[in-house]
Amino acid sequence: MTHFMKPVFLDDGQRSALEAVLDRISIGDERSRRIFIIALDYELTDYDKQRQLGDGDHSGDGADETLDKIAAAADALSGMLRQLPESSFSRLSLQLSADDDYARQYNGRYLNALQDEIERVSAACESRAVKFHEAKIRRHLVGMIINIYRESFEREPLVDDRIRFVALLEEIFTLCGLDIGDGIESLIEASQK
């Protein structure tokens, strides 16, 4: 059985504001504008759901999976170093010093700094994975808005109406409080790949 989600992203004020924007930049008639806003609300609802799910799940993309694995390995290594008994900690420091081709000495400060750096790598991987996921679903959203525009107004947004479409997209992102990232033009270009 298919479960239909109710569009819940746009409130009445946002819907009215979008109607006014569409009217101001002369896109479509009243009926096609209403269809566009309803379809947009469905896509924004799905976008919001994907964004919330994505906070803890970055599966399905090789780059995200690799970053998740690096973060997990870094966390494990940092945890093991922190739990290392003092005698093993000292032996590890001595072994690192003995194996260094430049006769550098490795003391507890070095291993503590190494732990800190490993934790930074983990945090950076986790942060990048979240940003990568956000950018991916934002690109998907823009691609869907392009399709909705095409179907609602029977015009090619990137060919026939590019200037108006870009203005509309900026208004949608602003009204909905969505992060534009590198900018609307970059989002449009990325959504076409």
The stretches in the chain having pLDDT less than 70 are 1-7, 54-64
pLDDT in the model for residue 174: 93
Q: Are 118 and 78 in contact (CB under 8 A)?
A: yes
φ/ψ (deg, to 5) at 19: -60, -45
pTM equals 0.62
Residue whose C-alpha is closest to residue 64's, from 132, 121, 119, 118: 132
pLDDT tens-place string over residues 37-52: 999 999 999 898 888 8
Residue 35, token pair as written in the block: 């269809």
pLDDT in the model for residue 163: 93
pLDDT in the model for residue 6: 61
Q: N- to C-terminal Cα distance for the chain?
A: 33
Residue type, 17: A
